Amino acid sequence: MSVLETISEKLGITEPWVEQGGVHWLEPGTVNVRDLARTMNDVKARFVTITAYQLPKDEGFRLEYHWDIDGLLMGFPFQLAGNSIESIYDLCEAVDWIEREIHEGFTVEFTGREYEPLQLRPGAKLGVNLREEVTK
Amino acid sequence: MSYKIPMGPYHPGLEEPYKLDMICEGETVQDVNLKIGFNFRGIEHLAETRNYIQVIALMERVCGICSNVHTLTLCQAMEQLTNLNPPPRAKYIRTIVAELERLHSHVLWAGIAAKLMGFKTMFMTCFELREKVMDILQAISGNRVNYAMNCIGGVNRNIADPAAILVMVEALEKEMVKKVIPIFTTSSTARSRCAGVGVLTQEKAISCGVVGPTARASGLPQDMRRAAPYAAYAELDFDVPVQPEGDVRARLLVRALEIMESCKILRQALAKIPPGEVQAGDGKFNFTTGTATSRIEGPRGEVIYSVSWKQGSRTPARVHVRTPTFANMPSVRWMMQGARLADTPLIQASIDPCYSCTDR
């Protein structure tokens, strides 16, 4: 069984992996991001990054979580209806700075963790990467 | 009694503006809090306002040392979105410039590390050698910092006379073997300042998700050139140096050995470079809607770009950059716990931090 099949089985996802744009994508469906992080720990995957997208109008955000196993890059997109998602910091230490950066840049709340300012200086506002901030 | 010592954002022991708040007991560091963002430029957001030509020039300015890796990673991602495959000669030229950049970056780091060890003679030697690498880069690209080599579908400049570049590389390699490598691998000064200092255990390296020489010096054999080859790396023979100790000396040794591997790659690439075109396509680009991700092994480790585009648009919808220092810097906290205060400038420098990249 390949590592991708193992991950699908552990997550209970029957949807196929799709290789596109240099990444093996898997739609997480109803899988929680914390269960995904636990599975990635089980298969000894290395956390790479999270890419945040602000969706048009009031559609919220999409966060793409990336892990790597021996050069195989995997991607898991999560659609946020609002602006919050559970933090995986306690399960994956490597997400600390990127969760803080996305929180500061996009005002996404990673629940279940505390933040200290990473890039913000005293008096600065959250949301520097939000489109409406630029158009003001 | 514990007390807090702030180092930075402007401090003689730091090369760039960031801040370490150190909690000390006597001369021993108990804990460290890192702060970045003093020069944050919002380049990712700015990229969304630049067209497909301008965005390459913009991302080249993410970093002043590894500028080429940023354009290479970006162009590889954009090539996926435009279905362009660079010609073989262009892939070799990309490899050659990437390895020259790694050489000058590693030698620059070696010089700074030597200065922080109190080894000023070595600092001067390293910077003299680095100039010779810069001369080669200038001979190829006409530039010494931002080389402007990469474009969508290939490279902007050909290497007209690879044999002449090969002569320069061989002369450089001789000096590296004669001067830099022996001093860093055998000198008692380097050993006494670096051995057992700033240890990052393999377990902690995995937990922090560190990359590049920092990971390889903690026993993790990860290297994008080997794991997910790009450019011409699949056709070239090289080793990935790994040291298990996780201390500053291991990070020094890994980079010293990588200097030799870079020379080996350069010799092969210059000898094997195939003839032909250096750009694919006709200069007109049709981007498809979607996201493309590209990774390369920069001098400090894995660089990743995620680029999103909408068909018909001249500007990207999103460009996300994860730089190696962004992945490596949090691990400095664990390297410094229990360290002597006097060793902290060298420990933080041992990951070869780049805050230009981090404050992108």
Tens digits of per-residue pLDDT, A32-74? 999 999 999 999 999 999 999 988 877 889 999 999 999 999 9
pLDDT at B360 over 60: yes
For chain A, say whether B303 makes contact (Cβ under 8 Å).
no
For chain B, say whether A132 makes contact (Cβ under 8 Å).
no
pTM of this prediction? 0.91
Phi–psi pair at B253, nearest 5 degrees? -65, -40
| Percent of chain B scoring above 70 in pLDDT | 99
Chain B residues near residue A134 by CB distance under 8 angstroms: 45
Q: In this structure, are residues B335 and B200 in contact, taking their beta carbons and an 8 Å threshold?
A: yes
Cβ contact, residue pair B318, A116, below 8 Å: no
For chain B, say whether A34 makes contact (Cβ under 8 Å).
no
| pLDDT given at position B187 | 80
| Percent of chain B scoring above 90 in pLDDT | 50
Cβ contact, residue pair B294, A64, below 8 Å: no
Least confident interval from B5-14, B72-81, B258-267, B342-351: B5-14
- Give, in degrees to the nearest 5, the angle at Cα A20 between A19 and A21: 135
Q: Which residues of B117-133 are buried (b: 16+ CB within 10 A; e: fewer)?
A: bebeebbebbbebbebb
For chain B, say whether A56 makes contact (Cβ under 8 Å).
no
B198-216 mean pLDDT: 95
pLDDT tens digits along A82-123 = 889 999 999 999 999 999 999 988 889 999 988 888 777 777
| pLDDT given at position B174 | 86
pLDDT at B162 over 60: yes
In whole angstroms, what is the distance from residue B335 CA to residue B329 CA?
10
Beta strands at A72-80 and B154-155: parallel, antiparallel or unpaired = unpaired
B34-51 mean pLDDT: 86
B155-176 mean pLDDT: 84
Least confident interval from A120-124, B219-223, B254-258: A120-124
Residue of B nearest to A62 (CA): B318
Q: Which two tokens stand for residue A19?
A: 């290789």
Burial of B161 (0-12, 13-18, 19+ CB in 10 A): exposed
B279-299 mean pLDDT: 90
| pLDDT given at position B167 | 83
Cβ contact, residue pair A94, B207, below 8 Å: yes
Cβ contact, residue pair B45, A134, below 8 Å: yes
For chain B, say whether A29 makes contact (Cβ under 8 Å).
no
Phi-psi region of B118 (alpha: psi -120 to 50; beta: other; left: phi over 0): left
Domain B39-334: which CATH class? mainly alpha
HSE-CB of A8 using CA atoms within 13 angstroms: 15
Cβ contact, residue pair A49, B304, below 8 Å: yes
Domain at A3-135: CATH architecture: 2-Layer Sandwich (3.30)
Cβ contact, residue pair A47, B209, below 8 Å: yes
Least confident interval from B73-77, B131-135, B221-225: B131-135
Cβ contact, residue pair B33, A48, below 8 Å: no
Which has the higher per-residue pLDDT, B191 or B77? B77
| pLDDT given at position A136 | 39
pLDDT at B283 over 50: yes
pLDDT at B287 over 70: yes
Query: How far from B265 is each of B176, B182, B240, CA to CA, in Å?
Result: 15, 21, 12
pLDDT at B225 over 90: yes
B54-75 mean pLDDT: 91
Chain-wide mean pLDDT for chain B? 89
| pLDDT given at position A132 | 62
pLDDT at B239 over 90: yes
| pLDDT given at position B113 | 85
Residue of A nearest to B326 (CA): A97
pLDDT at B226 over 80: yes
Q: If pLDDT is split at 50, 70 and 90, which confidence band does A134 have?
A: very low
